Chains A and B, each alone.
Chain A
Amino acid sequence: MKKRCAVKIERFEELLDQYGWDLASWPEALRREANVLIAQDAHAAELLSSLRNVEDILADDPVPMGKHQAVDDIFAAIEAEETRIAATDQVSAQDPNNHFKSIDDRPKSRVQLTVENFIPVGDGPARKTYPAKPSVSPVNSAIVSDGAQFNGRAKGLLRLLGKGVFSGVGMAVCVVAGFVFGVTMTAQQGHQVSAHATEAEMVDLLENHVFAIDPLTVDQSENGASLPTQGGQAQ
């Protein structure tokens, strides 16, 4: 009597993809079911056989050791690379600009101006100009008797101003203020221009009116004629 197979071929393919093409790596229960299917279904058996073959080829080591001298070649390449790097370093050491760089020990930023950075470290000669620890007034310990506490940064109000005004927020406020000022000035100028335009128009109208009225006035005063009526002729 044939044992009923619970695994269909589609499910078998899915399991092959999931657990690999070697049934030995499958979970026990599934492997048993798969073996039943393989025994009953020639297509399943053929599929497994072809995939096992593929897996064998994949897992097979087709790589010969290569050249016997491969490791020696690697170390020769390492030597060559190290020689090249050393030569490059030597050339850059002989570069006059690099020479100045090496003796230029000026601090590159204000942060390096702190007292701690001036304190000699290691076995070098002790520095005479700056005390390693800031000396304190014998009268009031809060008073520092020398400038050793100076760290290159402004203190108090200047520091506050520096933080408040020259900081990023301060800059942003300045930019916004400048923008508002510019807009206001432009608007004001616009008003002035339009006012000038209106004024010019008025002047123009007045002048025209004066020039138009003037001869009539002159005529009226000189000839005693009445003003012309609308649609009529002057007498």
Chain B
Amino acid sequence: MSVGLRPVVSTSSDTSDMASAQEVLRELDDNALVARMVQGDKGAYRVVVERYYRGIVGIARRMGLVSGDAEDVAQDVFVRVWLHREKWRADGGATFKTWLYRVAVNRVIDLKRKPQFVDGTELDEVPDEAMSALDKLAQHQEFKRLRIAIKKLSDQQQIAINLFYDRELSNQEASAIMGISVNAMESLLKRARKRLREELKTI
């Protein structure tokens, strides 16, 4: 009997060890996690993925991709980053987060430039159970109107607006992702807001 039970006990112990190791990893900051990731530590990379998956899907969706495409982009970005992890240079001037977002933004731009990309008018509804059906509809209409207006902006203006209003990014990070100075970002945002305001009047 004891022989039969041994593997079960061992597996349970391993699982709890792995869970506690993941908990320890979650306490680490990006630099420490990325240093481990570069060495090939998949556990550390899993924490990185969990930390930024939502943000990457979010930026892809803000840039006009529908939910399935945005998730595909996120998966593609994380697979690429892992496979090319040795290219990451900690002293390259950018943080890992801005580098990751830049990879994602470039991937979305590539995808949108492909001829088969259908610029979907179907936008995912925002699931909010607390809202009434009428409120949901109104918000969806407003969201749709805004998306139509944003699509009329230039590519740079669209990216600037989407990055600027991403809660998970500071102004410095947004400008670093675009590879421009904060002043240039503000100037771009000013033009984008003006254009967006004018477009919203006509829609």
Chain A positions within 8 Å of B, measured between CB atoms, are: 13, 16-18, 20-21, 50-51, 53-55, 57-67, 70-71, 73-75, 77-78, 81-82, 85
Question: Which of B49, B126, B142 has a CB less than 8 Å from the CB of A53?
Answer: B142
Chain B residues 8-28 with CB under 8 Å of chain A are none
Q: A58 with B146: in contact, given A16-B193, A66-B71, A74-B75 (CB under 8 Å)?
A: yes
Residue B143 at the chain A interface, CB threshold 8 Å: yes
User: Given the complex, which residues of B lie within 8 Å of A59, measured CB to CB?
Assistant: 165, 167
Q: Are A57 and B193 in contact (CB under 8 A)?
A: no
Question: Which of A51, A67, A78 has a CB less than 8 Å from the CB of B83?
Answer: A78
Q: Are A17 and B53 in contact (CB under 8 A)?
A: no
- Pick 29 A–B contacts, CB within 8 A, sort by A: A13-B194, A17-B191, A18-B186, A18-B190, A20-B189, A20-B193, A21-B193, A50-B200, A53-B142, A54-B200, A57-B142, A57-B143, A59-B167, A61-B58, A62-B61, A62-B124, A63-B57, A63-B61, A70-B53, A70-B74, A70-B75, A71-B53, A74-B49, A74-B53, A74-B75, A74-B78, A77-B79, A81-B83, A85-B83
Q: Are B79 and A17 in contact (CB under 8 A)?
A: no
User: Given the complex, which residues of B lie within 8 Å of A54, measured CB to CB?
Assistant: 142, 146, 196, 200
Residue B50 at the chain A interface, CB threshold 8 Å: yes
A20 vs B143: C-alpha distance in the bound complex, in angstroms?
Answer: 19
Question: Which of B82, B142, B146, B191 has a CB less than 8 Å from the CB of A78?
Answer: B82
Q: Are B42 and A75 in contact (CB under 8 A)?
A: yes
- The minimal Cβ–Cβ distance linking B194 to chain A, given in whole angstroms, is 4
Q: A55 with B165: in contact, given A62-B143, A63-B54, A75-B42 (CB under 8 Å)?
A: yes
- The minimal Cβ–Cβ distance linking B51 to chain A, given in whole angstroms, is 10
Q: A66 with B57: in contact, given A57-B143, A58-B146, A59-B165 (CB under 8 Å)?
A: yes
A62 vs B82: C-alpha distance in the bound complex, in angstroms?
Answer: 28
Q: Are B200 and A63 in contact (CB under 8 A)?
A: no
Residue B107 at the chain A interface, CB threshold 8 Å: no
A71 vs B42: C-alpha distance in the bound complex, in angstroms?
Answer: 12
Residue B197 at the chain A interface, CB threshold 8 Å: yes
User: Given the complex, which residues of A lie within 8 Å of B126, measured CB to CB?
Assistant: 60, 62
- The minimal Cβ–Cβ distance linking B159 to chain A, given in whole angstroms, is 13
Q: Are B71 and A67 in contact (CB under 8 A)?
A: yes
Chain B positions within 8 Å of A, measured between CB atoms, are: 42, 46, 49-50, 53-54, 57-58, 61, 67, 71, 74-75, 78-79, 82-83, 124, 126-127, 139, 142-143, 146, 161, 165, 167, 186, 189-191, 193-194, 196-197, 200
Report, nearest first, the 5 A-B pairs whose CB atoms are least far apart.
Answer: A58-B165, A63-B58, A17-B194, A17-B193, A62-B126
- The minimal Cβ–Cβ distance linking B131 to chain A, given in whole angstroms, is 12
User: Given the complex, which residues of B lie within 8 Å of A75, measured CB to CB?
Assistant: 42, 46, 49
Which A residue's beta carbon lies closest to that of B165?
A58
Which A residue's beta carbon lies closest to that of B59?
A63
User: Given the complex, which residues of B lie within 8 Å of A53, measured CB to CB?
Assistant: 142
Q: Are A70 and B71 in contact (CB under 8 A)?
A: yes
- The minimal Cβ–Cβ distance linking A57 to chain B, given in whole angstroms, is 6
A77 vs B194: C-alpha distance in the bound complex, in angstroms?
Answer: 42
A85 vs B80: C-alpha distance in the bound complex, in angstroms?
Answer: 13
Q: Are B165 and A64 in contact (CB under 8 A)?
A: no
A128 vs B118: C-alpha distance in the bound complex, in angstroms?
Answer: 69
Question: Which of B50, B142, B165 has a CB less than 8 Å from the CB of A71?
Answer: B50
Q: Are A57 and B71 in contact (CB under 8 A)?
A: no
User: Given the complex, which residues of A lie within 8 Å of B75, measured CB to CB?
Assistant: 70, 73-74, 77
Which B residue's beta carbon lies closest to that of A20?
B193
Q: Are A17 and B190 in contact (CB under 8 A)?
A: yes
Q: Are A66 and B197 in contact (CB under 8 A)?
A: no
A55 vs B71: C-alpha distance in the bound complex, in angstroms?
Answer: 25
A13 vs B83: C-alpha distance in the bound complex, in angstroms?
Answer: 48
Which A residue's beta carbon lies closest to that of B162?
A58
User: Given the complex, which residues of A lie within 8 Å of B74, measured CB to CB?
Assistant: 70, 74
